[in-house]
Structure 1
């Protein structure tokens, strides 16, 4: 049974129209007119327990609006949604105990107090006993490697440490479903890796279901086998990340380092030349020809080094958003 079930979810915002000038201001004040902005349109998907799913889209595509409807922060205009067998916008206590939302650009910890004080407040809100609180605090703080930072005022923590503390606060009540909106936003590379490793471990240890939005594709490739793509409020893809990459990246990049320079015209038979820099050459090779091409290169060219990789995933996803559809 799906833990998240979304059917034809739609959110429409009325936006007031105001004409310029004094007359426009008076008309706007006494007889206001509106136009409709469709932030999310007929979105449907299901997520199974323990899945980690990436939710991708350009700025303004509808990702955060969808997450807010899934967590009950805003009411959908149309459609149905159930999360952990509850209707989110009813905000029933049992629903709130099973879900959590972490937004990378928002904070719930009190700025001038130690993080530990905010965590104690959260424990009281969720009616967590002192014994269970201490047990969970120790466990999560160890997983996040933040045990020695919890007695410092939040304002004195680094951005990475603050994000870890925010995650700890959001997970103190052991939610079944975790919604993450840009959890690594602004973090350095080491902090991003630490957050990803923690989320992977948390999912495996507690069987939590995670829906993740991120502009850092490394978050998605490290954590998610499945992705949802949303464009201008409409879901344009729901499926395997690997299948998406294979379908829209028909070539792989083969990079070689030659033992000696070879004229470009003698290299043309080995694939489409992407770039030549001294003795370093990069080819684009169709996936179906990859094995044969590498064998040909190794047999015919003086190779010092060879590597094969996919084109950057950001380029592939970016092209899909530019097209606005998945063919």
Structure 2
């Protein structure tokens, strides 16, 4: 199966495929990609300082993640995986809100008001079936909206994902499936977790239009998802998009990728950086220059720092809250545990 590519790794455009997006739209998307990387780097620093929980960076996947939501409206739904914060920011999540989420505050998980996003699930692939359910509900209510759900190559091996593809195809649910194939399911390469490395065939096997896209090509991602959302809104059912990309950084901050992959492989993909590729294209079109690029990067870094400072200024969590959101009425045994916890919370030393 061929791979859709409009911008090659040098930022050169295929003039026969070049879309007619406005300069304003292209700049908005570029800024979202730069902002995602600025947020990424700030979160990595905070985690290494012990001021943030485990975090899943998206360095190298900005085009794939941001590009997929560029055709969604506020009435559409988005069911993200845990590496989707670039898309979430574009959908209306503030960076401070996302910091609260990754730091484990319960108020960080619900989406902002009037943003039709589901909170991500750490259980791999578990968020895909609910997305199809939302799509089936749209059909039932005769709405001309759509749902976009993304997941990684590792999640493609989950049984629930196959069930979701089947239900969506059978009931012509308006769902766009984005399989972000970054080559690694933590430390397992795609060739070891799937006999067929062309994951777009999963969509074909379930009877839906399917396409492979260069996931580091922002224009290809925007065009593929635009066509898929148009199909969904016109009642033509689901679309499967395999976005071929690469995780240039860690799986999470608890990971050391040097244990399972070599530096040469990473260097090859660093030369295909989606942001640099898009910068070259925008510069050639006269939309960007060296000065405007520098100002954009500085502005995004400053915004990430401001979000960090606002996050630090918020009060710490109440440690007793861990008991408060499990049951409507706390059971007797859990109440005893809470009392024991409170007793020991401020205790110094060890009981003899």
Do both proteins adopt the same fold according to a TM-score greater than 0.5, normalized to the shorter chain?
no
Instruction: Judging by fraction of residues, say which structure has more helix.
Output: 2
TM superposition score normalised by structure 2: 0.28
TM-score normalised over the length of structure 1: 0.29
Give the structure with higher Rg (CA). 1
More strand by share: 1
